[in-house]
Structure 1
């Protein structure tokens, strides 16, 4: 099974589970079981093949499952626990149970499972701004996450290269900012080329509501990201008045960091407040909203007499301090609406975050440790080994990637809360999350290849705390389930011929070089930029 349960004991006896079998228990728990086992067309009833009950003493997302000759009994700490128990039950069945099979009949072996997650945040990040993925692909990502007990889907909804959600208050965002006339076809500026094909797309608010409801039913929380104040080319292409200069900006066609930045003045805060209200209204109950805060070029703030005067009016000594103030102001807005702000680690380094702001240290876990020591909850997101847009092997056979190489073994060996950290620091680590930045992921087939099976290792570490010694053996067996689900994962032996369609440029940057660079950035980054 993947992820590995805390306890799994073999018992005598077995049970034949057939199409139309009855599931008995509270209605919401029965529905969770039916969602995890759709192939059997289960139906609710008073007494049946699967009996499920609520036991809050087990804790969130936890469950106990016993199967034998009399059927299957499940006790769940909550609805999510019931859903995960059913996912484990599904993994006890043959691979064919992941296909639509009329008249199915499967033998459930006798087992006892007692299970609970090590981490509460087991996340996958999908960048839909650089390349857009239609709603159907996002729903499929949710399905695959659910199979693996992953529970946070972080959608990167805006960047320089595109805005991806409808705004009824500011319609030019989805009318203008959601598309670009062409796209860079190479990561490296010295060999820059373009495809000359328009690219775009956006989700309606109704789409977003559907995605959120679909995910919620499968124990997945959608975490939307509106990345500000930097990475703002697309926003300013639609509404340049929210920039420091008011001058027109185009949706960016190439990759990399842009100097485009939103103004921190009150009209911008009001604009973003309206956007948050639209997002929260569509998503429903949303405990987290990511506000970015990364890779911000402050030059235009520094050059603006109006902005520097505003900073002095607030009692701030620099535009770097204004950056921190701006993010805290947005976090206050979200808190008033019952949501918690999430930021990339540059925002923590800038200082003055709300104490309840959650930090994602992409530049390495030393930054994450500093954030945890300062009392912030942390989700481990370091480039190595949590950036799945990196190649899966240092080989020219791999599809185009930003760099070499984050291997399956690297992910399986990752420890989000090392024993060398103080206990108080480790307690602030909520979990881990892999990032699928999409500059080099133009379509769903490539997304499959990049995500799986590395996300299987992510799921194992997130649920069990560490990959078990037999992980490689269990993974090889688990690939049959992925085959049945139609996942175009990277084979363990390397890519198939058609998966090699976009090979690397020789001499592509290595992960070691990237990590050296980001560690230097993290060590040198302070909030003491030149004062005004």
Structure 2
């Protein structure tokens, strides 16, 4: 069996019996599982040309829930007369249906029939449950905008790998990607830049075409609903107080006007940490409260990500307004001022029944009790947060930043960051050994991130995300042994079958032998980091 991610238990029948998927196959969906039945008809039905009509006679796929099972867990039992998927909740039934699709073979991942109408499912018994409740993937649509059909496609790819959180990075210095009706200039101005640096900051190359785009509020509603049908939660990121130049370009009063002429700031056209940050005024607070009010109406997810990373303090040190605010609040310094920013929005979100999550810099200066941390600068921030009783999503850049190169060969396109191979990602362990059992329970999950500074097309994104996202999905879902004990040869053997599924889905992954000629980008300068520092 080449299932990915690997299930907890799998037992194959000793004989060659199988369940046929043919014109007589029907779906018997119990209350609460109707959405899974719709998905089976839309995905597997399209691939096979079969109606998979409702019914209880013939070859029956039975969908049920059982409150005795844990959330998101499932049992899949295949016999020659019937196929049963029972989940602890509708999400568990859906993940069982994803396993069924894999058992049907690569043909089941196409959008129209290409072969025989009858497929056969081997008789197996699968019992399965996820290790983590947050199995996430960050898609950066701020640096390079991704049309909503690309977002839908990635939602389907996450679902196929049993990942259940899409973290949408919606705002940054280089673009604002979500319509806010109260502040239309955020998209009229902030969603568009005049040109784009090709490669990282050191590169002399520019794409002189304007770049931009944004999602209307109806687009966001559609994305959220599409994801919810696949039991995926969409977590929005609205960056505060750094990474905010696109917002300042649209509304100059948000910036530090007593330090620079904010009316001259454009949407940023290059990359890197940017000194132009939000001014700590009541005007700024009210502005972002208004923004978040509209965001909350669009995203039902419990968590809202507010960034909080890479906020240089130079302008605050020079700003009389910022210094007056520090004095007024009795704060120690500019780091404490950033903490005040974060705590304000933590309270604001908590009052509305939501939870704040931010990058690990939000720990600096102290963190409110309900806030959670995305640990990206290694493990240390996550360790500190968990030891202090905060929930943590582990996403250390040294391990699971998928924009980092997959090989040290000269042909890798725009080589940046650390070399992290498919095997490296497979051996990533989200829970550091420094945590005791109680602290480890605060590691609510893990997440792989794709940042798109150097990725200007979906083909480029595919190349870096896959196949490594398949390895990450197994880390997030399956209860694997310690990294050094993991059976990578077994995973690699299962990947041989999984590549055919990715081919059927049209994913332009990195081939095991290295990039095809059209996947290379010679002459585009990156920033290779030779070796990796100790993980802290």
- Smaller-chain TM-score range? over 0.9
The aligned runs of 1:153-302 (5 Å cut-off) are 153-189=166-202, 191-245=203-257, 247-248=262-263, 249-283=265-299, 285-302=300-317
The answer as to whether partners of 1:325 and 1:352 remain within 8 angstroms in 2 is: no
Contact 2:142–2:176 at 8 Å: present in 1 too? yes
205 and 155 in structure 1: CA distance in 2 versus 1, 3 angstrom threshold? same
Counterpart in the other structure of 2:68: 57
What is the rounded CA distance, in whole Å, between the counterparts of 1:83 and 1:18 in structure 2?
21
Alignment correspondent of 1:3:
5
Provide TM-score, normalisation by structure 2. Answer: 0.92
Within-5 A mapping of 1:133-532? 133-189=146-202, 191-245=203-257, 247-248=262-263, 249-283=265-299, 285-348=300-363, 350-466=364-480, 468-469=487-488, 470-502=490-522, 505=525, 508-510=527-529, 512=531, 515=533
Q: Distance in 1 between matches of 2:432 and 2:262?
A: 48
SS of structure 2 residue aligned to 1:405: coil
- The question of whether the paired residues in 1 share the 8 Å contact of 2:401 and 2:449 is answered with yes
Q: Contact 1:25/1:46 (CA < 8 Å) preserved in 2?
A: no
Report what 1:525 is aligned to.
none
TM-score by length of 1: 0.93
Task: Could you tell me which runs of 5 or more consecutive residues in structure 2 were left unpaired when the two chains were aligned.
Answer: 46-50, 481-485
Q: How many residues align?
A: 513
Partner of 2:483: none
* CA–CA distance in structure 2, aligned partners of residues 465 and 53 of structure 1: 25
> Mean alpha-carbon deviation: is it higher for 285-294 or for 311-320?
311-320
Task: Provide the C-alpha distance between the structure 2 equivalents of 1:358 and 1:220, rounded to a whole number of angstroms.
Answer: 19
Q: What's 1:39 paired with?
A: 44
Measure the CA separation in 1 of the matches of 2:53 and 2:232: 23
Contact in 2 for aligned 1:385/1:410 (Cα 8 Å): yes
Quick check: 90-99 or 173-182, which moved more?
A: 90-99
- Using the alignment, how far apart are the partners of 2:146 and 2:530 within structure 1? 27
C-alpha contact 2:201 2:272 (8 A) present in aligned 1: no
> Structure 1 residue 402: deviation in Å?
2.1
CA deviation map 1:230-263 (0-9, x unaligned): 1111010000101121622211111111111112
Tell me, in whole angstroms, the C-alpha distance in 1 between the residues paired with 2:29 and 2:296.
32
- Give the secondary structure class of the aligned counterpart of 2:509: coil
**Kept in 2: contact 1:61–1:77 (CA 8 A):** yes
CA distance in 1, matches of 2:531, 2:36: 43
Maintained 8 Å contact 1:76/1:85: yes
Shift of 1:477: 1.0
**CA deviation vs aligned residue, 1:9-65 (integer Å, no higher than 9, x gap):** 012432111257321132431321441462324233345611121112211111011
Residue in 2 that maps onto 1:70: 81
Distance in 1 separating the partners of 2:377 and 2:286: 31
Instruction: Check whether the contact 2:199–2:524 (CA below 8 A) recurs between aligned residues.
Output: no
Report if aligned partners of 2:249, 2:262 keep a CA contact under 8 Å in 1.
no
| RMSD of aligned Cα (Å) | 1.8
Q: What per-residue deviation string (whole Å, max 9, x for no partner) do you get for residues 424-460 of structure 1? A: 2211111211111001111101111111100000100
Q: Which residue of 2 aligns with 1:14?
A: 18
Higher alpha-carbon deviation: 492-501 or 195-204: 492-501
C-alpha distance in 2, partners of 1:277/1:36? 36
| Deviation by residue 1:493-527 (Cα, 9 ceiling, x = unmatched) | 11112111346649x422635x46x96xxxxxxxx
| Deviation (angstroms), 1:108 | 1.1
User: Structure 1, unaligned stretches of length 5 or more?
Assistant: 520-532
Alignment correspondent of 1:529:
none
Contact persistence 1:223–1:290 (CA under 8 A): yes
